[in-house]
Amino acid sequence: MKNLICIECPIGCSLQAEKTGEQWDIKGNRCRKGEQFAINELTDPRRSVCSTVRTIYKEVPRLPVRTNGEVPLQAIFEVMEQINAVTLDHPVHIGEIIIENVSNTGINVVATSDLYCLLEAN
């Protein structure tokens, strides 16, 4: 049996997971997300990555970005390397794609703040 803490929401349920044959038995979850989390966590753990990219603008040297889905836990540092290789030389809106298919995960890195607004505020 494996013990896990669910990270889907701030409650953080303590989960117990057991596999009999092909069937997972998950206990301790207060909602259905917990069950799926436990199975994913034990078979293919994934996380969102939130970071920043460099810009050429002195007043706004960094723009926050995120993956628009979860990437394999093992790929996080590879994703970070690609994020850190970017220097934005033009304004973007919130939600705009900054890196397409980052590290071949099928996931995009998108802006989480509006660079037009940030530059205007300065």
Partner 1 sequence: MSNYDVIVLGGGPAGLAAALAASDNGMNTLIIERERRLGGILKQCIHDGFGLVRFKEKLTGPEYAQRFIEQVQARNISVLMNTYVIQVGKNGAGFELTMVNRQNGVEKMGAKALILATGCRERTAKQVFINGTRPAGVYTAGTAQHLVNLEGYLPGKKCVILGSGDIGLIMARRLTLEGAQVLGVYEAKSTPSGLSRNIVQCLHDFHIPLHLSTTITRVFGDDRVEAVEIAKVDENMLPIKGTEQIIECDTVILSVGLIPENEIAEMLGIKIDAATKGPVVDQNFMTSVAGVFSCGNSLHVNDLVDYVSESGEIAGDSAAQYVRENLSRELVDIQIDNQDFLYVVPQHININTSNKKVILYFRSREVRENMRVTIRSGDNILFSRKYVILRPPEMERVPLELKGDLISSRPIEITMEPVKDKGVAL
The yes or no reply on residue 54 touching partner 1 (CB under 8 A) is yes
The yes or no reply on residue 50 touching partner 1 (CB under 8 A) is yes
Q: How buried is residue 34: exposed, middle or buried, by Cβ count under 10 Å (0-12/13-18/19+)?
A: buried
Distances (CA, A) of 99 to 61, 67, 90: 18, 9, 14
Residues within window 24-43 making contact with partner 1, judged by CB under 8 A: 30
Q: Print the binding letters for residues 65-84 with partner 1: x by CB under 8 A, - otherwise.
A: -x------x--xx--x---x
Per-residue DSSP letter, 118: H
Q: Which stretch binds partner 1 (CB under 8 A): 3-11, 18-26, 98-106?
A: 3-11
Q: Which of 39, 86, 97, 118 binds partner 1 (CB under 8 A)?
A: 118
